[in-house]
Structure 1
Amino acid sequence: MKINILGGGPEEFIPDLQIYNDENSIWVGVDHGVFRLIHQGIKPDMAFGDFDSVNEDEWKLIEEKTDQINRYLPEKDETDMELALNWSIKQGPEAIRVFGATGGRADHFLANIQMLGKKENLHPSIEIEIIDIQNQVQIVPPGEYTLKEKSDSKYISFLPLTPEVEGLTLSGFKYELQDRNISLGSTLCISNELIQPSGTFSFSSGILMMIRSHD
């Protein structure tokens, strides 16, 4: 099972969702993202939000087309996206894909990135990524990972989310590394590329953000 979450970020940053719409997927709408799913012909299985960004007609359609709605007061401790992500992780899927979480307000975008890096959200058995029209973002804990070449996301960058990421090793890349420590703010690992059908990266401590992008 895979869970797809659509937030309310700018529509021009959202890829074609039909690519991800298969029988093994559950769709979760966040606030105005619920209406967007319906507008694209995708039935929301679950909805989260205070829905302060939808008008009366949109709300009526959401009530009519959505299986389960979790509506909250605007005054709450978590964002609508965090509530949706927390629920999704508890379902134990093999993957969670988040759309509509980039662009627009910088505070929301940065909060979404940092949210993926919370200790309780770093599940080795669940692949969680933020996807937009140009990027795929993952936050990973220490370990060894295999990446396959993707023609639509040639560039691969690694950025520390902790003061230090220790023992970073890259194999099968244009610019390889061996047991290097990378400090927060370093640009050493920006715009790398695979030179083989697959490659590996590993590190021993810290939290690492991986971004796969295309121009």
Structure 2
Amino acid sequence: MIINILAGGPVDHLPDLRHYMEDNAIWVGVDRGVFHLLKRNIKPDIAFGDFDSVSPEELLFIETEVAELKRFQPIKDETDMELALNWALAKKPKIIRLFGATGGRLDHLFANVQLLINPVKTNQSTDIFLIDRHNEVFLKAPGTYKIKKQADEKYISFVPLTLDVTNLTLEGFKYPLKNRHISLGSTLCISNELISDNGTFSFSEGILIVIRSHD
């Protein structure tokens, strides 16, 4: 199962959502993201939000088109995105993709990146990707991972989410590493590139943010 979640971030940051319309994909709208999905002729299976970012006319349109609508008060402990993501994680899908989660307010951006940590902390097998027009972001716990070269995402960066990432090794990269200790705040692993069709990265402690990007 794949769950695609669209939040209400700026539409000019969105990739072409038609590329993610697999037969087994469930679509989830978050707040104004519900309206953006409907305008693209994608009917979400479920929607979450306080809907304080849509007009009364847009909300009426949403209520008419979406069968399962979970409305919340604006004053609450979780963001609309966290509520939607918790619902998605409970379904135990193979993949969750987050769209509309970048651009606009920086507090929302940092919060959305940190939401990716939940399945990593609980050793859940679900892979979560935060995707916009120029970037794909995901987190990894200690281990060894293969990574494929993609022409449309030339640059690969590795950024510590924890205070330290230990024994980071990069193989098959333009700038290889061997058992390096990377501290929070280091820019050592920004803008690397694969030099072959496949590479590997590994580390023994910490949590790593992996960012695939293109200009």
What TM bracket, shorter-length normalisation?
A: over 0.9
Give me the identity figure in percent.
58
Q: Which residue of 2 aligns with 1:175?
A: 175
Matched to 2:40, the amino acid is: Q
* CA–CA separation in structure 2 for the residues paired with 1:149 and 1:71: 41
Q: 1:23 aligns to what?
A: 23
Whole-Å Cα distance in 2 between the matches of residues 31 and 197 of structure 1? 39
Aligned length: 215
Mapping of 1:48-63 within 5 angstroms? 48-63=48-63
Conservation of the 8 A alpha-carbon contact between 1:149 and 1:197: yes
| 8 Å contact kept, 2:95–2:127 | yes
Name structure 1 gaps, 5 residues minimum: none
Q: Which residue of 1 aligns with 2:72?
A: 72
- The residue correspondences of 1:1-215 to structure 2 (distance < 5 A) are 1-118=1-118, 123=123, 125-215=125-215
Q: Alignment partner of 1:145: what SS?
A: strand
Give the Cα–Cα distance (whole angstroms) in 2 for the partners of residues 81 and 164 of structure 1: 28
TM-score with structure 1 setting the length: 0.97
CA distance in 2, matches of 1:122, 1:109: 22
CA distance in 1, matches of 2:148, 2:10: 29
CA distance in 2, matches of 1:160, 1:209: 6
Q: Distance in 1 between matches of 2:133 and 2:119?
A: 27
- TM-score, structure 2 length as denominator? 0.97
d(CA) in 1 for partners of 2:154, 2:122: 25
Post-superposition Cα deviations, 1:93-122, rounded to whole Å, max 9, x if no partner, equal 110000000010000001111121246666
For 2:87, what is the secondary structure of its paired residue? helix
Letter in 1 for 2:202: S
SS at match of 2:139: strand
- Cα distance in 2 between the residues matched to 1:59 and 1:70: 13
- Give the 3-state SS of the residue equivalent to 2:108 in structure 1: helix
Does structure 2 conserve the Cα–Cα contact (< 8 Å) formed by 1:148 and 1:197?
yes
In structure 2, do the counterparts of structure 1 residues 89 and 119 end up closer, same or farther at CA, with 3 Å as the change threshold? closer
Structure 1's consecutive aligned runs of 4 or more residues displaced over 2 angstroms after TM superposition are: 117-124
Alignment partner of 2:35: what SS? helix
Distance 1:122 1:129 in 2: 17
CA contact (8 A) 2:103 2:109 kept: yes
CA, structure 1 residues 204+120, in 2 after alignment: closer, same or farther (shift >3 Å)?
Answer: closer
Does the 8 A contact of 2:120 with 2:139 survive in 1? Answer: no
